[in-house]
Structure 1
Amino acid sequence: MYYAIIALILVICVLLSLVVLAQNPKGGGLSSQFGAGGGAAQMMGVKRTGDLLEKLTWGFAIGLMVLSLGSYVVAGHAPSGPVRSINQQRALETRIPATSAPVAPGAPAPAAPVAPVPAN
């Protein structure tokens, strides 16, 4: 399921970038290059083509956000899940030693023992 959502995200990204490249508010975008002499713009009219491209842009952008949030939910976000990076794994394995005696107010804090860094 997760991989299907990722595939849909990639398809929407490609379509969104094509739609964004096709539009230009000054009329010089790729939308005038389709067909012989900008047949798509002549067939539907420049205003209607711009409206369609704008609606497609918003639709693809909203779809991309929804699928991105969906992939987060499907992948699982529980803290007991798998560790995804070596830095996160080392941070979870590191134990900070607790001080044995409380420090009196105004007294200097005892030096904490430093744990040796493991070699890779």
Structure 2
Amino acid sequence: MYFALVIFILVICFLLSLIVLAQNPKGGGISSQFGSGGAANLMGVKRTGDLLEKLTWGFAIGLIVITLATHMLSSGSNGPVRSVNQQAAQRAVVPASAPAPASAPAPGAPAPSTVPVPQPQPAQ
């Protein structure tokens, strides 16, 4: 199912790019080069532009919806793993963390020293 949706996304991307290239921006677009001049005369220039605009919006919205659906399918527990890093993270065992010290120093206080400080000897 996942791979079928990915293939469907690729088909929609290809069709969307063709429709965007076929549109007529501010004067001769690719549509006039590949013979859609006959379609423009048949349906009228305004109606052809409306159809291409509606198809563009439809394919763009469909692409977003299907992409989100693919993400929802792959985020499940039995969805395909997408990267080597994700596989390693799923196999990794998290070690038990050490317990936190009971008394933490106050903010702004100097850090405790790890070097032992010699104690003064009593006078003899």
TM-score, L = length of structure 2: 0.69
Deviation at 1:38, TM superposition (A): 1.9
Partners of 1:85 and 1:15 in 2: CA distance? 28
Query: Which sections of structure 1, spanning at least 5 residues, go unmatched?
Result: 112-120
Larger Rg: 2
Identity %, equivalent residues: 57
Q: Is the 8 A contact 1:41 1:49 kept in 2?
A: yes
Q: Is the 8 A contact 1:31 1:40 kept in 2?
A: no
Please state if 1:25 is matched with 2:28.
no
Closer, same or farther in 2 for the Cα pair 1:6/1:107, shift >3 Å?
A: same
Closer, same or farther in 2 for the Cα pair 1:17/1:82, shift >3 Å?
A: closer
Deviations 1:84-107 (A, max 9, x none): 434443595454843552323225
Which of 79, 83, 95 is 1:85 aligned to? Answer: 83
Closer, same or farther in 2 for the Cα pair 1:84/1:43, shift >3 Å?
A: closer
After TM superposition, which residue ranges in structure 1, 4 or more long, deviate above 6 angstroms? none
Q: Is the 8 A contact 1:22 1:31 kept in 2?
A: yes
Aligned residues: CA RMSD? 3.1
Size of the aligned set, in residue pairs, is 109
Partners of 2:113 and 2:80 in 1: CA distance? 37
User: What corresponds to 1:62 in structure 2?
Assistant: 61
Query: How is 1:1-120 mapped onto 2 (pairs within 5 angstroms)?
Result: 1-35=1-35, 38-78=37-77, 84-88=82-86, 89-90=88-89, 93=93, 95=95, 97-98=97-98, 100-102=100-102, 103-105=104-106, 106-108=109-111
What SS is found at the alignment partner of 1:57?
helix
Q: Is the 8 A contact 1:32 1:40 kept in 2?
A: no
User: What corresponds to 2:119 in structure 1?
Assistant: none
TM-score, L = length of structure 1: 0.71
What SS is found at the alignment partner of 1:27?
coil
The residue identity in structure 2 corresponding to 1:66 is V
Query: Which sections of structure 2, spanning at least 5 residues, go unmatched?
Result: 115-124
